[in-house]
Amino acid sequence: MLARWLPAAINTRPTEWSRAAIGMALGTMLSVWVCGQVFGIEVAQHLIGPLGASAVLLFAVSSGALAQPWSIVGGYLSSAVVSLLVAHVLGRTLGSACLAAGMALLLMCWLRCLHPPAGALALTLVLADPATIAMDWNALGPVMVGASTLLLSALAYNNLTGIRYPKRASEPAAAVPADHPPIDSQAITAQDLKRALADMEAFFDVTPEDLEQLIHASELHAKRRSIGEVLIPRL
């Protein structure tokens, strides 16, 4: 039972950690700086929490569904609208902030733009600082400027450092190597994985295409291992 609490192994190298860390720091700083130049540093710094959390997704796990462009843009926009509406109707209290976060989650799921930091944004906008409260509905401006700047930073930095971003959900799996055995009618495909994910009725931050590619790669390694066991005589 205690083993379940242990952290899972990370499959990336320290060089990738450094790449993501530098990108997160630069992207967050740029988005807050641009937002501060347009709307004032007090308003911009109030948004640094959600933006920093978004930066972790966009730079460290950019292949995940939660880190794609529509997730951050749609998530921030829907959460901002919901939170400002709740603040107008119910006031700026802890209860209304939590209600806004829950409603934002429902709206993001419906719009297929689930983005966890956007839930923090909903709380932040309801329990806002005086400068942000004074902006009223104009607070949508700094929210979208910060999100757009962070997204543009991720687009530039990730691609310049060898990470293809964004990743389309419909993107086909990489070509199967020539030495991979031909796929028969019983082989698992992306369509089968989509149906399996739908049957599980839970959210997984991975695309069926990624799972299909992982399965093909695993089959290739298993084939090479079995060939090696045949060719290498046992002592």
What's the total number of domains in the chain?
2
Indicate whether 136 and 56 sit together in one domain. yes
Q: Which of 109-123, 136-150, 208-222 has the lowest mean pLDDT?
A: 208-222
Answer yes or no: is pLDDT of 176 > 70. no
- Residue 5 covered by a domain: no
Indicate if 134 and 228 belong to the same structural domain.
Answer: no
197 and 155 belong to one structural domain:
no
- The highest-confidence range among 70-84, 188-202, 207-221, by mean pLDDT, is 70-84
110, 221: one domain: no
Clarify whether residues 80 and 187 are in a common domain.
Answer: no
Closest CA to 116 of 80, 157, 75, 153: 75
On whether both 145 and 184 belong to a single domain, the answer is: no
On whether both 179 and 204 belong to a single domain, the answer is yes
Residue 175: per-residue pLDDT: 46
Range of the domain at 221: 169-235
Is residue 6 assigned to a domain? no
Residue 8 lies in a domain: no
Q: What is the pLDDT of residues 112-124, one digit of tens each?
A: 999 999 999 999 9
Is residue 149 predicted with pLDDT exceeding 70? yes
Q: Do residue 132 and residue 231 come from a single domain?
A: no
| pLDDT value for 121 | 97
Instruction: Based on the fold, state whether residues 146 and 39 are members of the same structural domain.
Output: yes
Any domain includes 3: no
| Residue 100 domain flag | yes
Last residue of a domain, one of 133, 160, 187: 160
What is the reported pLDDT for 212? Answer: 67
Instruction: Select from 102, 132, 160 the last residue of a domain.
Output: 160
Residue 122 lies in a domain: yes
Judge if 144 and 189 occupy the same domain: no
Q: Do both 41 and 122 map to the same domain?
A: yes
The predicted model scores a pTM of 0.75
Q: Residue 178 has what pLDDT? A: 47
